Amino acid sequence: SQQGEEDPQALSIQEGENATMNCSYKTSINNLQWYRQNSGRGLVHLILIRSNEREKHSGRLRVTLDTSKKSSSLLITASRAADTASYFCATGEIQGAQKLVFGQGTRLTINP
């Protein structure tokens, strides 16, 4: 079963705009990771944020984590056509840190 929900399920924006995706989860976590997947291929690791961190940046990516609300957001700034993909959040649970529990993902489409 999935850990939580990702919102929205699909997002379509114009190139150059910012894209924001949200993720909610249910249990206490050790960390939260975001991944990108292109057309049913492998998952590309984007960023990891630990439970004691509130915000993290990597290039055009900004991730926030609110453990009190059990939610995270991924912001992609100045989007490009190559950012078109599905984006997943995955939580590493405290009790089961060895496995990742994934959301259903957000399908992002960047229109040129």
Partner 1 sequence: KAGVTQTPRYLIKTRGQQVTLSCSPISGHRSVSWYQQTPGQGLQFLFEYFSETQRNKGNFPGRFSGRQFSNSRSEMNVSTLELGDSALYLCASKMAPSTEAFFGQGTRLTVV
State the minimum distance, in angstroms, from the CB of residue 17 to partner 1.
Answer: 27
Pick out residues in 24-83 that bind partner 1 (CB under 8 A): 30-31, 33, 35, 40-45, 48, 50
Instruction: Say which residues have a Cβ less than 8 Å from residue 86's Cβ, sequence separation at least 6.
Output: 36, 37, 38, 105, 106, 107, 108
Stretch that binds partner 1, among 18-26, 52-60, 77-85, 93-101 (CB under 8 A): 93-101
Of 111, 103, 94, 92, give the one whose Cα is nearest residue 15.
111
Q: Does 10 bind partner 1 (CB under 8 A)?
A: no
End-to-end CA distance of the chain: 36
Residues that bind partner 1 (CB under 8 A): 2, 30-31, 33, 35, 40-45, 48, 50, 88, 90, 92, 96-105
